[in-house]
Amino acid sequence: MKASIVLYTSDLRLHDHPPLRAAAREAEKVVPLFVRDPGIEKAGFLAPNRAAFLADCLGDLDAGLRERGGRLVVREGDPVRVVRELVGSTGAERVHVAAGLSAYARSRADRLRAALEEAGAQLVEHEAVITALPPGEVVPGGKDHFAVFTPYHRQWATQRLRDPLGAPRQVSVPSHVRSDEVPRRADVPGVSPALAEGGEREGRARLAAWCRGGVGRYEDLHDDLAADGTSRLSPYLHFGALSAAECVRRARTTGGAGADAFVRQLCWRDFHHQVLAARPAVAHEDYRPRGDRWRTGRAAEREAAAWREGRTGYPVVDAAMRQLAHEGWMHNRGRLLAASFLTKTLYLDWRLGAAHFLDLLVDGDLANNQMNWQWVAGTGTDTRPGRVLNPLTQARKYDPRGDYVRRWVPELRGVEGRAVHEPWKLGPGAYEGYPAPLVDLAEGRDRFRAARERG
């Protein structure tokens, strides 16, 4: 075959990439294509941190392709129009793409299929590679998705995952195909100061280091806020710079309790994806409505703003929110308590919190963000929707020495030990510039419980 096109979407890698492998095998020339789609940019999916990380991923993909004799072709516009044009100019007979999971991706594939048929070419849609196991692969009898994690995990864990593919050795791109400039992180304004570096190479180096070391201590350290003992692989997985299936396979060969605990988290990722794939509306609607009438009005707005700024007066919540602003990433335990504080203690709509997280999270995606927010808010798949996380108890348990708070809340750096979690108990002058608690925890909890009982 003369030429094939590989359309990259959220799978920005060379390794374990079935569309690239298939194209490189069947055709003399391959066009590895990434289309900057104004539709996606307009919908707000490319907040600055993710735009910067994406630029890193594209730059790295281009570099990896160049090492193999090729290059990345970047274009801007409607992907269907761009692909059609390239089919015309290269004579490509096939366009390879990995199946997307979102409604947008599905409609893009339908439009592409129709347009290619007209042009006498064929769309080859490979299985979804965003998750380790594609949504719909395991389902309970008579239903289209699992609504509870534990039975999903039980079945998921018994499935054989496909063998990860190596990267192709050689990719030859038709010389006459022009490309726009590959985007650069330096051109993206408003990026968090300590945003991680993106790209497949960086992701693979982190995965290798993680499997050699970190994962062994994951079970013990994953909830310890100050230890930073999680993999931090989420953004690489989000952009597909790493293959989830490969992460599972490599962690499993590492073995040990830490690997099991880590793989279980990757299963959570697949779980949320299969819920959203089956119920796309729950990106914005309650999965299990509880009759909430979330607080609105001036006080509610003021409290939401204090939460966003990391000025709630509860140090562990504020530390987590400030980590988010600084790194574009937040520790999972921090995400849980910041989200519980907003939705339950302050009784504010989970959508407010989810939107703020999506503005900043480098790994922010609809499935994991919205479904985790709903899980915490008790409108999602949590089987104990009424639980309220107490930030003080949580802080004592998961930041027992107070180091996480001191790292992120400079106003409290002079306070020693766990006293840092209750600054209001220290005399005046022991700390300066740090706000008083926004709300009494017991009052917040009772308000939430009363609302849910009424609902």
Ligand X SMILES: Cc1cc2nc3c(=O)[nH]c(=O)nc-3n(C[C@H](O)[C@H](O)[C@H](O)COP(=O)(O)OP(=O)(O)OC[C@H]3O[C@@H](n4cnc5c(N)ncnc54)[C@H](O)[C@@H]3O)c2cc1C
User: In the bound complex, what is the minimum distance in angstroms from residue 166's beta carbon to ligand X?
Assistant: 23
**Residue recorded with tokens 């490319």:** 46
Among 29, 50, 249, 335, binds ligand X (CB under 6 A): 335
Q: Is the dihedral of CA 312, 317, 318, 321 positive or negative?
A: negative
Provide the token pair at 178. 């022009």
CA 276 from chain centre, in angstroms, equals 14
User: In the bound complex, what is the minimum distance in angstroms from residue 416's beta carbon to ligand X?
Assistant: 28
User: In the bound complex, what is the minimum distance in angstroms from residue 141's beta carbon to ligand X?
Assistant: 25
CA distance 127 to 323: 36
Element (H, E) at 449: helix 441-454
CA distance 208 to 222: 18
- Residue 336: closest CA among 376, 395, 384, 381: 376
CA distance 21 to 168: 6
Element (H, E) at 164: none
Our finding on whether 418 is near ligand X (CB under 6 A) is no
Our finding on whether 104 is near ligand X (CB under 6 A) is no
Q: Between 222 and 241, how does the x/- string for binding to ligand X read (CB under 6 A)?
A: x-------xxxxx--xx---
When the beta carbons of 173 and 376 are compared against ligand X, the nearer one is 376
When the beta carbons of 64 and 364 are compared against ligand X, the nearer one is 364
User: In the bound complex, what is the minimum distance in angstroms from residue 390's beta carbon to ligand X?
Assistant: 16
Our finding on whether 332 is near ligand X (CB under 6 A) is yes
- Selected range binding ligand X among 25-33, 279-287, 356-364, 444-452, rule: CB under 6 A: 356-364
- Selected range binding ligand X among 27-35, 183-191, 357-365, 426-434, rule: CB under 6 A: 357-365
- Reduce the DSSP state of residue 3 to 3 states and report it: strand
- Reduce the DSSP state of residue 73 to 3 states and report it: strand
Our finding on whether 266 is near ligand X (CB under 6 A) is yes
- Selected range binding ligand X among 175-183, 281-289, 363-371, 436-444, rule: CB under 6 A: 363-371
Our finding on whether 268 is near ligand X (CB under 6 A) is yes
Beta-carbon contacts of 369 under 8 Å, excluding residues fewer than 6 positions away, are 354, 357, 358, 361
- 73-76 sheet: strands from edge to edge: 73-76, 29-36, 3-8, 94-98, 122-126
When the beta carbons of 98 and 412 are compared against ligand X, the nearer one is 98
Give helix 315-327 / helix 350-360 axis angle, nearest 10°: 40
- Selected range binding ligand X among 102-110, 120-128, 263-271, 441-449, rule: CB under 6 A: 263-271
- Selected range binding ligand X among 53-61, 156-164, 260-268, 440-448, rule: CB under 6 A: 260-268
Our finding on whether 243 is near ligand X (CB under 6 A) is no
Whether 157 contacts 267, CB under 8 Å: yes
When the beta carbons of 168 and 203 are compared against ligand X, the nearer one is 203
Report which DSSP code applies to 441: H
- Give the footprint of ligand X on residues 375-394 (CB under 6 A): 376
Contact residues: ligand X, CB under 6 A: 222, 230-234, 237-238, 262, 265-266, 268-269, 272, 332, 335-336, 339, 357, 361, 363-365, 368-369, 372-373, 376
